[in-house]
């Protein structure tokens, strides 16, 4: 052990010191070849180039390149001078709303650190990087890091606190087995997301084709009305099976629906002009509109893709609190296909939405299973072989 690490105090998560006899406690720094802070500068965003990993890009514990920002090659080279992120490293958020979350650096991608990010490089001979990600994101460690905030208004972890984080480890082979069992669930969830994305992109392409060949134009208001959602404070929500939608997307559940599904939700205040699809019944709150078709000129499915292409975000009202200008949106011209083309597209989209709904439901079930197995495996209460059998039965 390096001399600089001998005196690092070890603080156990939740006061818990007991672990299986074959496991050992270490500080994170003692298991890593480096823990690197981000450059303390704001990078200039570009439309193409290497990816920029920010705190909001890893909130699920997985780096999402689809919505990540990009930087120029010059900016990228400047930001990787301390360390170039590569597969086997972890991205770790140390500040902000989403602090204390770890995600793996993807294979074969050029990624640099955004602000408030740290790069963790475990020693592969003693610490499996995927095991470490699960450990850092485990419930006990999430509770632990929230007690380590530096006392400022912002929620953040300083670098010394990160280096002192406690890590309980079995031997590296058992780490790999634990990571593989949980990783099989994550891999299936990721596969579902890729299929969903591909299906939606295909459907969007089909819509553009049908839309471009349409010979008739009408105002949006002739096809649908935009009705106001209803206030539903979190204190009045009863957890249930009904998704609650705000302008930023689903924001919880309730036991009663306001609208029978399927349906379209549009951001009215907050995330102005956002468009969401709900396969089942739903409750849109008062920061949203929801679509109420007025004629068979356009199906809900056709309207959904049409609305996503109208750039509704640009239709802000001039009031003190910006919001979607309803009158301007309803007066926007849209193209209407012939009935046979509309019917064909609607069937394709309906099939896509049904499959998407099923895959998202499966992913939610797999996520719940992973989150149930995670603390049991990380505490040694569940044997890896038993977890592998459970995973095998569910993927």
| Predicted local distance difference test score (pLDDT) of residue 3 | 35
CB 99 within 8 A of CB 56: no
| Predicted local distance difference test score (pLDDT) of residue 12 | 60
Q: Would you list the domain boundaries of the chain?
A: 3-169, 215-336
Q: What mean pLDDT is reported for the chain?
A: 90
- 306-350 residue pLDDT tens: 999 998 988 876 566 678 999 999 999 999 999 999 999 999 999
- 1-26 residue pLDDT tens: 333 344 445 566 655 567 788 889 99
Query: Percentage of the chain surpassing pLDDT 70?
Result: 93
pLDDT at 283 over 60: yes
Residue 12, SS3?
coil
Global pTM reads: 0.79
| Predicted local distance difference test score (pLDDT) of residue 17 | 60
Query: Percentage of the chain surpassing pLDDT 90?
Result: 72
Question: From CA 338, how far away is CA 345, in angstroms rounded?
Answer: 11
Neighbours of 137 (CB within 10 A): 19
Q: Among the listed ranges 14-18, 74-78, 240-244, 310-314, which one has the minimum average pLDDT value?
A: 14-18
Mean pLDDT of 82-107: 92
- The length of the chain is 395
Model confidence band, residue 275 (pLDDT cutoffs 50, 70, 90): very high
Mean pLDDT of 41-49: 92
Model confidence band, residue 101 (pLDDT cutoffs 50, 70, 90): very high
Model confidence band, residue 176 (pLDDT cutoffs 50, 70, 90): very high
- Residue 101 host element (H or E): none
Taking CA atoms, 257 is separated from 250, 270, 276, 304, 323, in Å, by: 13, 22, 16, 20, 24
Task: Please give the CATH topology (third level) of the domain spanning 215-336.
Answer: Adenine-n6-DNA-methyltransferase TaqI; Chain A, domain 2 (3.90.220)
Mean pLDDT of 285-311: 94
CATH class of residue range 3-169: alpha beta
Question: What residues contact residue 196 under an 8 Å CB cut-off, 6+ apart?
Answer: 356, 359, 360
pLDDT at 354 over 90: yes
């Amino acid at each position: 052990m390096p001399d600089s690490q001998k005196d690092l105090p070890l603080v156990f998560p939740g006061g818990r010191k007991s672990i299986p006899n074959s496991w050992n406690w270490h500080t994170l720094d003692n298991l890593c070849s480096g823990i690197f802070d981000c450059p303390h500068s704001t990078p200039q965003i570009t439309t193409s180039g290497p990816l920029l990993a920010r705190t909001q890009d890893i909130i699920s514990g997985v780096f999402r390149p689809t919505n990540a920002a990009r930087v120029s090659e010059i900016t990228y080279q400047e930001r990787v001078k301390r360390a170039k992120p590569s597969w086997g490293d972890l991205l770790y958020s140390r500040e902000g709303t989403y602090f204390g979350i770890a995600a793996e650096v993807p294979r074969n991608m050029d990624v640099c650190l955004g602000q408030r990010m740290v790069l963790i490089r475990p020693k592969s001979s003693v610490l499996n990087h995927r095991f470490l990600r699960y450990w850092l994101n485990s419930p006990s460690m999430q509770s632990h890091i929230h007690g380590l905030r530096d006392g400022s208004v912002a929620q953040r972890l300083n670098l010394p606190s990160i280096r002192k984080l406690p890590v309980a480890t079995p031997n590296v082979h058992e780490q790999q087995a634990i990571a593989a069992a949980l990783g099989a669930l994550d891999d299936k969830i990721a596969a579902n997301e890729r299929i969903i994305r591909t299906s939606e992109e295909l459907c969007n392409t089909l819509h553009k084709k049908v839309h471009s060949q349409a010979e008739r134009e009408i105002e949006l208001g002739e096809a649908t009305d935009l009705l106001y959602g209803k206030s539903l404070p979190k204190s009045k929500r009863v957890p249930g099976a009904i998704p609650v939608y705000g302008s930023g997307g689903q924001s919880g559940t309730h036991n009663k629906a306001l609208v029978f599904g399927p349906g379209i939700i549009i951001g009215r205040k907050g995330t102005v002009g956002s468009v969401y699809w709900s396969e089942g019944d739903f409750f849109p709150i008062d920061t949203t509109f929801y679509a109420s078709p007025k004629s068979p000129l356009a199906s809900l499915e056709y309207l959904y893709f049409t609305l996503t292409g109208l750039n509704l975000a640009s239709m802000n009202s001039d009031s003190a609190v910006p919001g979607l200008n309803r009158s301007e949106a309803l007066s926007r011209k849209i193209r209407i296909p012939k009935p046979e083309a509309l019917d064909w597209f609607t069937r394709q989209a309906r099939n896509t939405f049904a499959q998407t709904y099923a895959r998202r439901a499966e992913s939610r079930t797999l996520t719940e299973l992973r989150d149930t197995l995670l603390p049991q495996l990380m505490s040694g209460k569940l044997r890896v072989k038993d977890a592998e059998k459970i995973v095998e039965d569910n993927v």
